Amino acid sequence: MEAILAELEAALEHRFARPELLVRALTHRSLANEQASQEPALREGNGKQQAEGTGDNERLEFLGDAVLGLVVAESLFLLHPEWHEGELTRVRALLVSRKHMAVVAEAIGLGSHLRLSRGEEHSGLRHKTTVLSNTMEAVLGALFLDGGLEPVKAFVRRWVMGETAEQLARELDSGDALGNYKSALQEHLQASRAGAPVYRVKSESGPDHRKRFLVEVRIKTAEGEPGKQLARGMGSTKKNAEQDAARRALERLQAAQGKAAASATAKPAAEGEEPAEQ
């Protein structure tokens, strides 16, 4: 176990003062359940033992997800002062996505360090995207608890950001390929036969090297006139502002659709009965 941990610590560039944190981060729930069923005494162990060595990595995964989001958000915020909230959100979402974190996990050989139950050893579980990304987040949670934010920041800069962040920034500047919310909004409106989206620049601000565009998106009616405003967005280019407006519009439409569906499936109140307060 010490040799395995040393190999992973080298990839993380951090020597754990509390190696039990890293062990737990690598422990899949299948192994934790197997150990609990075989050794009831561990399941009934004292609080200190439970906190340090036993159990699976899901709590650390929760923590690591939050820390990862914070560190990536801070890095993007400092690296790109010209980006608006929508642009920061789009790039962060891709960097912390399950797909990308699984790629990071593979790059450091995390799969070979996973601690699985005997039943899962030959199932291919250690190579699945979801398991790899979840374990990577758990390891970041352990890294944060053991060393604070600095080792997490160093790891994120090297493995999570790096060339990927630079490539995403280039795609964002070109207005192409990165989270095509305009297409998604158009498809959503077409599916509901609501009309087609129309974009209009409402204002421009800032110096030439740091322009800010405010764009609104409306629904074009069958008569050809722009109708109800769906949302507004901002960006460093017209294309980016349109994408931001489309993203906000899509989120609002989907939220309204979800509320309508929930209302339709709600149990109607009996005759004479007052509906329950929400």
Catalytic residues, which ones? 65, 137
Spatial strand order of the sheet with 226-235 comes to 196-205, 212-220, 226-235
Q: Which two tokens stand for residue 94?
A: 């891709």
Q: Compute the distance between CA of residue 274 and CA of residue 259 in angstroms, rounded to an integer.
A: 21
H-run or E-run covering 13: none
Q: Compute the distance between CA of residue 156 and CA of residue 140 in angstroms, rounded to an integer.
A: 9
CB atoms inside a 10 Å sphere around CB 145:
18
Residue 222 has φ and ψ, to the nearest 5°, of: -60, -30
Q: Compute the distance between CA of residue 143 and CA of residue 18 in angstroms, rounded to an integer.
A: 10
Residue 274 per-residue DSSP state? P
Query: By the 8 A CB rule, do 44 and 120 touch?
Result: no
Residue 211: which of 235, 188, 244 has the closest Cα?
Answer: 235
